A = this chain, B = another copy of it.
Amino acid sequence: MIITILSGGVGGARFARGVREHLRREHPDAELRIIVNTGDDMWLAGLRITPDLDSVMYTLAGANDEVRGWGRIGESERVSSELNAYGVGWPWFTLGDLDLGTHIARTSMLRDGLTLSEATARIQSRWDVGATLIPVTDSEVETHVVVEGGSMHFQEWWTRHRATIPALDFEQRGFENAVATNAAFDAIAQADVILVAPSNPVVSIGTILGIPGIQTALGAAAAPVVGVSPIINGAVVRGMADACLTTIGVETTAQAVAEHYGPRNNAGLLDAWLIDSGDEAAVAGIDIHRVPLWMSDLDTSAQLAKDALRAAGI
C-alpha cells in the first residue's frame, strides 16, 4: 500500500509523523510518500533555503525543536550573528548553525548540478525519515505577497511582519513554467490513498495545486483524496493561515475551506474531509467526517491518521 500526503511545513510534518506512526503500528509494509510545498523556498545569503522540506525532514527524523515549534533541536546561532555583522541575509530570519549545515549541503549539491529532488534524496538519506520526501517541483517557484505599494517574499511577510500587513493578493512567481517532479506525479498516480495534510490551504496546499499538471493528476488519480481541515473550532490551529484565507476571500471555517477545495467529482480536490468534532460542514460530493483533529501527542496524531485512512475505506 502506498500512502501519499500533500504537505506544507510544521503542521503537515506533525500530521505526517502521525501517519507514519499509524502505518508502523497497523500497516508495517505500507510506503509513505510526502509531496512537499516548495513555494516558501528562497535564496538567502547565497543559500537555497527550503523551509517546508526541512520542517518535515527534521520532524520525521526526530531532530526538530518541539518547544520552539520549528528548526533543529539544540540549535545555536553563531554563524548568523557573523552574517549580520557582514550585513548579509535577513537579520529577522534566523539561520541556525545546524540548519545552515543542511542549507550549505543542499546548495552545494544544487551548484554541482543536482536537481532539488536529487539533493533532497541525498540530504534525507542521512536521517531515519521512514518516508520519501518529494519536492512538488524542481523549478524555482516563490510565493510573493502583494501589499499596499508593492510586494515582498512570502517569508518577509510571514516571518518578519507576522502577517500583520494586509495582504492584497498572493503572487506565485515562476509557476506558469514550473514543472512538477516525476516523483510527485508517480506518488499521485500510484497511491492507494492521498491525504491532504492540515497545512495552510493557500500558500502550502494551494502552491502544490498551483504547479501545472498536479490538479489534473489528482483529478485522475485512482486513489481517494482525503483532506484534513486545518481549522479547529473555527480557528486555525497554528500559524496565521487565517490571514491567507482572508486575502483570497475564504472564511476561516471548515465549511469554507471545504468549498474552496471543492469536491473531486466536480473539478475539485476532495472525496472526503475530516473536520473537528466542534465544527460543521456540508458540501455536496464530499464525505464529511467529524473526528478529533487536535494532535496533542503521537497517539492522537496516529488516531487522526487512522481516521483519515478509514475515510478512504482502509
Residues on A facing B (Cβ under 8 Å): 45-47, 76, 78-83, 85-89, 97-98, 100-102, 104-105, 107-112, 122-123, 126
Contact = CB atoms under 8 A, between A and B. Distances in A.
A122 B98 CA distance: 26
Contacts of A101: 78-83, 85-86
20 contacts: A45-B104, A46-B109, A46-B111, A46-B112, A47-B104, A47-B108, A76-B78, A78-B78, A78-B101, A80-B101, A82-B100, A82-B104, A83-B105, A85-B101, A86-B101, A86-B102, A87-B122, A88-B105, A100-B100, A100-B104
A79 B107 contact: no
A122 B88 CA distance: 10
Given A104-B46, A111-B46, A122 B79 contact: no
Given A100-B100, A111-B46, A105 B76 contact: no
Contacts of A102: 82, 86
A85 B123 CA distance: 9
A104 B123 contact: no
Contact of A105 (B45, B78, B109, B112): B45
A108 B76 contact: no
A100 B79 contact: yes
Q: What is the predominant secondary structure among interface residues of chain A facing chain B?
A: helix
B76 A122 contact: no
A229 to B, nearest CB: 36
Given A47-B108, A82-B98, 13 more contacts: A45-B104, A46-B107, A47-B104, A76-B78, A78-B98, A82-B101, A82-B104, A83-B101, A83-B105, A86-B102, A86-B105, A86-B126, A89-B108
A54 B246 CA distance: 50
Nearest to A78: B97
B45 A86 contact: no
Given A82-B98, A97-B97, A98-B82, A88 B76 contact: no
A104 B85 contact: no
Nearest to A127: B85
A102 B45 CA distance: 11
Contacts of A85: 101, 126
Contacts of A87: 122, 126
A203 to B, nearest CB: 26
Contact of A98 (B47, B79, B104, B111): B79
A223 B83 CA distance: 39
A80 to B, nearest CB: 8
Contacts of A83: 101, 104-105
A100 B111 CA distance: 17
A45 B108 contact: yes
A104 B100 CA distance: 10
